[in-house]
């Protein structure tokens, strides 16, 4: 018996496999450990991810608005909501199509786009240039930035009477008010983007003897671009907010005028049409800037969730 045990130990692990093979007629059966390793391991949450992929990414943002509209319409149909204070979405849609058919809506939207676009371009371009100058020059920062910071704390609604006294209630005062609000986000984020450039890259450009124009186009602007685009996104939103204020203080056309005129005649459905237009146009403008971010900032490897 001892001789058999010693022979088995000296044979090593292959002896057990040989005995199994002889006991099963020459067919070697896989061991339990090998079977466990070869078995496919189910990935937890794979089904959930597949169900998420079944719904397009752009459709996720419509889930909450559609649910709210459905609950709103149901509440109006059941008489739980006052029609005069909160008309049903179907009634708002009818008012919208009547404005479209008459051509009145196109006139108001065109006037609002001219004001918002002109104010945004004027304020955004000024903020971009001053942000670059203050970010590049220490002397310019010490001279100019304190004044800009002081003006930033003044409420924009407080300067409306002054603008009316200086420039009247014409188009120039409205565009100037919008440009003043669009200036600050672009200015601050451009300044932050210029100052966030790596110091080592500045030293490399000096070693390569880059000119001031080459430094601005090949180092400063690319490194500041994420912050600049963020400032533009915020500036676009501020432009649409101030457009409503500017058109309500004295205008004969525009979405803000449409809302103000409907309020006078207690046309609540048209008021909601104007509010919906502001929301839709603002969202489209923001999506346009985000599309530019995806195309121009594709080199970033930041966390996307």
Look at residue 272 in the predicted model and tell me its pLDDT.
94
Distance CA 214, CA 220 (A): 9
Question: What confidence score (pLDDT) does residue 304 get?
Answer: 56
Give me the number of domains the chain comprises. Answer: 1
Closest C-alpha among 176, 60, 43, 61 to residue 115 = 176
297 domain-assigned: no
Q: What is the DSSP letter of 196?
A: T
CA distance 293 to 289: 6
- 161-167 long-range Cβ contacts below 8 angstroms, 24+ apart: 164/249, 164/250
Output the domain CATH number for residue 265.
1.10.3720.10
The pLDDT of residue 299: 67
Q: Looking at the domain assignment, is residue 49 inside a domain?
A: no
Within-domain flag for 103: yes
Burial 42-57 (b: 16+ CB within 10 A, else e): eeeeeeeeeeeeeeee
CA distance 243 to 261: 16
Give 232-255 pLDDT, tens digit per residue: 999 999 999 999 888 887 788 899
**pLDDT at position 124, please?**
95
CA-based torsion, 86, 87, 92, 95: positive or negative: negative
Q: Residue 201: what pLDDT? A: 75
pLDDT computed for residue 54 by the predictor? 66
pLDDT for residue 21: 44
Closest CA to 94 of 243, 268, 257: 268
Whether residue 59 is contained in a domain is answered as no
Whether the Cβ atoms of residue 296 and residue 229 lie closer than 8 Å to each other: yes
pLDDT at 36: 42
pTM of the model: 0.74
Which token pair is 77?
């149909």
Q: Is residue 176 part of a domain?
A: yes
Q: Phi-psi bin for 281: left (phi > 0), alpha (psi -120 to 50), beta?
A: alpha
pLDDT profile of the chain (305 residues), mean per 10 = 45 46 46 47 50 67 89 89 87 93 92 93 94 87 90 88 86 92 94 84 77 77 87 93 86 89 90 93 88 79 54
Best CA proximity match to 298, nearest among 197, 232, 225: 225
The residue segments making up the domain with residue 113 are 89-285
Pinpoint the alpha helices (H) of 208-267: 212-215, 221-248, 255-264
């Amino acid at each position: 018996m001892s001789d058999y045990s010693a022979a088995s130990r000296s044979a090593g692990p292959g002896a057990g496999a040989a005995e199994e093979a002889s006991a099963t007629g020459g067919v070697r059966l896989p061991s339990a450990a090998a079977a466990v390793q070869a078995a496919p391991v189910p990935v937890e949450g794979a089904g959930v991810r597949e169900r998420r992929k079944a719904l397009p990414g752009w459709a996720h943002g419509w889930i909450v608005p559609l649910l709210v509209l459905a609950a709103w319409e149901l509440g109006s149909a059941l008489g739980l909501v006052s029609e005069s204070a909160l008309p049903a979405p179907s009634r708002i849609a009818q008012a919208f199509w009547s404005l479209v058919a008459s051509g009145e809506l196109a006139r108001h939207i065109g006037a609002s786009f001219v004001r918002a676009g002109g104010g945004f371009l004027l304020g955004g371009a000024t903020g971009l240039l001053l942000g670059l100058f203050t970010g590049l020059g220490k002397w310019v920062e010490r001279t100019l930035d304190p004044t800009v910071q002081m003006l930033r704390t003044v409420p924009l609604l407080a300067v409306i009477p002054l603008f009316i006294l200086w420039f009247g209630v014409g188009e120039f005062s409205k565009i100037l008010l919008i440009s003043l609000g669009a200036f600050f986000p672009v200015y601050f984020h451009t300044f932050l983007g210029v100052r966030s450039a790596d110091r080592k890259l500045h030293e490399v450009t000096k070693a390569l003897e880059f000119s001031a124009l080459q430094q601005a186009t090949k180092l400063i602007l690319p490194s500041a671009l994420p912050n600049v685009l963020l400032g533009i996104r915020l500036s676009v939103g501020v432009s649409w907010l101030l457009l409503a204020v500017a058109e309500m203080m004295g205008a004969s056309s525009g979405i803000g005028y449409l809302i103000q005129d409907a309020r006078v005649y207690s046309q609540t459905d048209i008021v909601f049409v104007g509010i919906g237009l502001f929301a839709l146009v603002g969202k489209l403008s923001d999506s346009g800037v985000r599309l530019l971010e995806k195309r121009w900032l594709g080199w970033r490897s930041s966390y996307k969730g």
